Amino acid sequence: MWSFRTVLTTTLVALQVAALLAILALTYFASQNVLLSYAEQLTQRVADDTTTFTQNFLNPADDAAALSQRLAESPVLGTSDRAALERYFYEIVRSRSDFAGIFYGAADGTFIYVSRDSSVEGAEFRVKRIVTQPRRSVELVYLTADFRPVSRRRDDADLYDPRTRPWYVKASTTSNVVWTDPYIFFSSQRPGITVATAVRADERLGMRGAVGIDIEIHALSRFLDGLKIGNRGSAAIVSHSGEVIAHRDPSFVLATDVSGGQRFARVWEIDDPALANAVSSLPGGLANVQPGEAQLTRFEAGGESWRGAVKRLAGSRTPWAVVTYLPESDILGPIYMVRNIGLGVVAIVVALTALLGALLARALTRPLASLATQAERISEGDFADIPLPSMWTKELAGTRQAMRRATSWLRDYRRENETLAERLREAGRVLERRVTERTAELAVANSDLEQANDNAEMLAHELDHRVKNLFAITASLVTLAAKHAATPQEAADEARGRINALARAHADTQSTKESQLGQIVASVLKPYNGIAEVQLTIKGDPVTVSSSSVTPLGLILYELATNAAKYGALRGSGGALDVRWSSAGDGAVRMVWSETPAEPPGDEAVDASGHSGFGSVMLDAMASRLNAQIQRQITPKGVHVVLTMEKLEEFASRRPVSADAP
């Protein structure tokens, strides 16, 4: 449940924040729509300006087309005076700064090309001459501005053939002036276009050659680089097939082809994802934009929204489009700043409102909190008066006086109840002590009686089992003594000795002292040691058995020896008993009891090895007390028992055995 202070402060702050955010949101979104509309107008205006510039830039190409047509009809190209032709080309190039070069390629492969070239010191123009008769040769002549030679050299390794160039091939198919698609000029390796026309002296004689004018278009990239389109906006001129004709970054225009040459890069190959997304966002692509048409687009690039305008050039000879694009954040930057300032103001106002609300709430809630504390202490049984702050309202002061009177009355009433309750508690304590004492006495008596019954029952079973075993073993020992004694006295002496050894073995199995494992095994089997017809083998590592483990281990060995004397290898002559043990690295002991009787085990031995007789129950019980595993198996060769025990020296400290355990 919220406190009055929290509710009051939160309500004041929430109302203040809601009012400020409503005003800020109204201002922000209204300004945003206006600025986004301005962004569209800006991109379209830049696209219009760029389109106008591009078209104006290409207008000289129309003049070049007319000039090419006049050259084709002029007798100058028909003259054999190549020097005059070169001079004529030089005068045209010098007078038209927008022309990169003018050339004539003949049908026999000869070629004359005059172009601007300042690669040689002192030169401004270059003449390239290719002759094919009597043998092919290529000569480059570098000229000054007044047509004086500066340098000349041979370049016979140049394999240029004008008849294979795009302008020649295209001009040979028509009698009109042709425009080539943008391509990379062979000499300057710069992007440009060529305006060319075929030269025919007589239609019947066929094509004599082609004359053309080169116009470099890298100036378009310089123009685009000078445009100011926001902070990060840009513009490009792209062909209908996606080739970048011009870009404000000239390094984006050219790319290396598979043969190592230069070609126009495509929009999706350059590092300008905004341009690629602007083109791909057009429905139907660039080819769907009609000449003179402009389309506005909005797209995502680099995780932000962009605005773009795409306008196609009006001329059908140049299927190019001007793409202008800029991020919305360039336009919305100022409003973002205003928004952030507004949010800061909101935060300050909220903080002040929260502070004032907290002070007001504190003035109201401190008296109420004190009264609530007093009421809480009364509900817990504490009727002591606590200091209460001054109540600055009449209602709170009256409540404080009523709380004081109620507290005084409750103190008096509690004292009377405590006196009566103390008397009742004392009587209850006396009665509880008597009941507890009688209950404890009955519990002890029942436990002692139950323990005595269990011990008596176990003792009776064990005594009965032992008596039967002793009688059977005694009879077996007497029979063995009678077989080998020559006289009754000798038989009596031998039987008496075996019986005494049996008694000592029985006593050793009940020992409460620490012993060696070998001593315990030897003591149990001592009554059978020395019988010539029985082969007895006892062998193993030195192992100390703790006092708490002597009795259960002795009882296991005693039970196994008893069964061997009654049914197994110790029953008569010809039997063999092998008892071996070994100590593992972790302190565990593995003992193997292996019997080979003179006769195969009978049904009695099989019954004795079962798990239903008292002997088997006792074996399992003793093994459990040792925390050991016992495995018994009767084979045609005899009885085989494996006893795996934990550390016998430490067993007593890990597994205490109660006095009444079987």
Average pLDDT (513-526) is 85
Specify the pLDDT at position 644: 92
Beta strands (DSSP E) in 260-319 are 262-264, 294-301, 304-312
493 pLDDT higher than 70: no
Contacts of 285 (CB under 8 A, 6+ apart): 279
The amino acid sitting at 559 is E
Q: Select the more confidently predicted residue: 325 or 23.
A: 325
Q: Select the more confidently predicted residue: 249 or 356.
A: 249
Q: Select the more confidently predicted residue: 202 or 544.
A: 544
Contact (CB, 8 A) for 310 and 322:
yes
Residue with tokens 């830039």: 57
Out of 114-128, 539-553, 624-638, the most confident range is 114-128
Q: Which residues of 228-251 are buried (b: 16+ CB within 10 A; e: fewer)?
A: ebbeebbbbbbbeebbbbbbbebe
301: which strand partners? Answer: 304
416 pLDDT higher than 60: yes
Q: How confident is the model at residue 64 (pLDDT cuts 50, 70, 90)?
A: low
Q: How confident is the model at residue 65 (pLDDT cuts 50, 70, 90)?
A: low
Specify the pLDDT at position 658: 30
433 pLDDT higher than 50: yes
Q: How far is CA 71 from CA 103, 114, 167, 205, 213, in A?
A: 11, 15, 16, 18, 11
Each residue's pLDDT tens digit, 360-378: 666 666 666 677 777 777 7
Query: Of the given ranges (166-175, 348-357, 458-467), which has the lowest mean pLDDT?
Result: 458-467
Residue with tokens 């509880």: 432
Burial (CB count within 10 angstroms: exposed 0-12, middle 13-18, buried 19+), residue 377: middle
Phi-psi region of 189 (alpha: psi -120 to 50; beta: other; left: phi over 0): left
The amino acid sitting at 104 is Y
Residues 559 and 462: their CA atoms lie apart, in Å, by: 11
| 3-state SS class at 513 | coil
Contacts of 639 (CB under 8 A, 6+ apart): 563, 564, 568, 569, 593, 594, 595, 597, 601, 605, 609, 632, 633
With helix as H, strand as E and coil as C, how does 18-45 read?
A: HHHHHHHHHHHHHHHHHHHHHHHHHHHH
The C-alpha angle with vertex 363 and arms to 361 and 365, in degrees rounded to 5, equals 60
Average pLDDT (205-211) is 80
Residue with tokens 């007789």: 613
Structure tokens at 595: 């019997």
Beta strands (DSSP E) in 16-154 are 101-106, 111-116, 125-131, 137-143, 149-154
Residues 161 and 213: their CA atoms lie apart, in Å, by: 17
CATH number of the structural domain 459-654: 3.30.565.10
Contacts of 638 (CB under 8 A, 6+ apart): 568, 569, 594, 595, 596, 597, 601
425 pLDDT higher than 80: yes
Specify the pLDDT at position 623: 86
Contact (CB, 8 A) for 324 and 43:
yes
DSSP H or E segment with residue 633 = strand 629-635
Residue with tokens 């007093």: 374
Specify the pLDDT at position 152: 92
| 3-state SS class at 587 | coil
DSSP state of 180: P
Q: Which of these, 45, 315, 90, 50, lies nearest to 193 by C-alpha position?
A: 315
Residues 107 and 115: their CA atoms lie apart, in Å, by: 21
Delimit the domains of the chain by residue range.
459-654
